[in-house]
Amino acid sequence: MVAVLNEPTPLGAELAALQGVIDRLDPLVRAGLTPADAQQLSAAVGRVKNRLDALTVRAARVIHDSRLARRHGATSTGDLLGRDLGNDRSAGNRLLGVARDVPEESLTDQALSSGDLTLNQARIITDGLNNLPTNTTPEQRALAEQALIADARRFTPKDLRARADRIADQWADKTTVDRHESDLLQEREQHAWEQTRLSMWANGDGTTSGRFTIPDAQAAMLKTVLDAYASPRRASMLGREIDDYTTRVGQGFCELIERVPTDRLPNHGGNNLLVTVNMNLADLEGRIEDAAPGTITTDGTRLSPGQTRRLACDAKLLPQVFGGESVPLDLGREERLFTRYQRFAIANRDGGCAAPDCDRPPGMEPSHHGHSRDGV
């Protein structure tokens, strides 16, 4: 049998030559760079990367139109593209979004191909053009596109998006532009609320991780508060000499949670929100050396004695102390539903909802599964 060698395609030959250029650059860069050379390298590579991204956009269009993903067993074109981007489906979907939304051979597409725009800038400009008033003429659209491409050289992505929302000021009066921007923001804010999510999961090592998506306005508020808690000056005053910003923010977030004014929160299961912790009185007061841990009754989280004492001093926390003065649990038959302290006691007794197969915390519903005091 005679082996048949496939002739390299012109595209394949050029891609191999590109790899060769990178192979020759690598030892030059590793040998050491002067600051001037490093700046030149950064600028040139950034521009080349933009041009390479433009080529991948063109490839993504062909892959999408050919429905190649299904033949390769991928769930979507974004999934298939993501396999070449570090198995990152989100990156593949972002690339596909630019490929679908940026019109081929448009001014934005040309600027991307010449290296003047990044993928993100191209997407922002396209979104801005798609959000123009419905009565915009082709000439006005072209004027807006040219202005935004020029603005991309000096604006951050966030400022470029804000500029795109008001790009109609190139031909319209301020009142019209204000009204148009307000409509866009209202629609965007409604979408943000609908997309708001938060999830958390225990890692099993004493930490909990999470993921959230919230509207920009609330994110800005949260960041402002956390920056105040995580300021280096405040950390130094508290004896927390931590250089890592993310660690300071994380610890500040914990402190913020502990200091939430619970008397201003909505009722939760018929009660003002209050964390209850089980602990013996002697352990809480620190009278014995080998103190036992405490338990948060809402989900069974175990706390060291020191942590429990600290929270008892600073946070809105109700110790359910055994061996000390108790809170009355039976206040007669005047109220049909459980009283405030009866709910705390039931939570402690059951360690959650007592109904079979229910994993909700005890405060999730005003009366668990419709139980009244007669149904205890």
Sign of the torsion formed by the C-alpha atoms of 225, 230, 232 and 236: positive
Q: How far is CA 183 from the centre of its chain?
A: 25
Which residue did the predictor score with more confidence, 346 or 2?
346
- List the single range of 63-72, 113-122, 124-133, 150-159 with lowest mean pLDDT: 63-72
- DSSP annotation of 368 reads G
294-296/302-303 β-pairing:
antiparallel
Could you report the per-residue pLDDT of 155-199, keeping only the tens digit for each? 999 999 999 999 999 999 999 999 999 999 999 999 999 999 999
Burial 305-315 (b: 16+ CB within 10 A, else e): beebbebbeeb
Sign of the torsion formed by the C-alpha atoms of 191, 193, 194 and 198: positive
Residues found in the chain: 376
- DSSP annotation of 98 reads H
- Say how far apart CA 148 and CA 102 lie, in whole Å: 14
Instruction: Specify whether the CB–CB gap between 100 and 122 falls below 8 A.
Output: no
Amino acid identity at 125: I
Could you report the per-residue pLDDT of 75-104, keeping only the tens digit for each? 899 999 999 889 999 999 999 999 999 999
The encoded tokens of residue 84 equal 């070449």
Alpha helices in the chain (DSSP H): 10-30, 35-66, 68-71, 77-83, 89-101, 107-113, 119-130, 138-151, 157-165, 174-194, 216-229, 232-237, 245-258, 281-285, 305-314, 340-350
Residue 187 CB neighbours (<10 A): 11
Q: How far is CA 192 from CA 137, 165, 185, 218, in A?
A: 30, 17, 10, 10
> Residue 254: is it exposed, middle or buried by C-beta count within 10 angstroms (0-12/13-18/19+)?
exposed
Could you report the per-residue pLDDT of 256-281, keeping only the tens digit for each? 888 877 667 676 554 444 555 565 66
| Confidence band, pLDDT 50/70/90 cuts, at residue 286 | low
- Say how far apart CA 24 and CA 47 lie, in whole Å: 19
Could you report the per-residue pLDDT of 292-330, keeping only the tens digit for each? 676 666 666 777 777 766 666 655 445 554 444 444 444
- Say how far apart CA 355 and CA 369 lie, in whole Å: 8
Could you report the per-residue pLDDT of 194-247, keeping only the tens digit for each? 999 999 999 999 899 999 999 998 999 899 889 888 887 766 666 666 678 888
Instruction: Specify whether the CB–CB gap between 148 and 167 falls below 8 A.
Output: yes
- Say how far apart CA 153 and CA 360 lie, in whole Å: 52
Could you report the per-residue pLDDT of 29-47, keeping only the tens digit for each? 988 889 999 999 999 999 9
- Say how far apart CA 232 and CA 220 lie, in whole Å: 20
pLDDT over 80 at 24, yes or no: yes
Q: How far is CA 190 from CA 157, 171, 288, in A?
A: 22, 28, 55
Residue 277 CB neighbours (<10 A): 25
Which residue did the predictor score with more confidence, 376 or 26?
26
DSSP string computed for 231-271: -HHHHHHTT-----HHHHHHHHHHHHHHT--GGGSPPBTTB
The percentage of the chain sitting over the pLDDT mark of 90, rounded to a whole number, equals 47
**3-state secondary structure at position 370:** helix
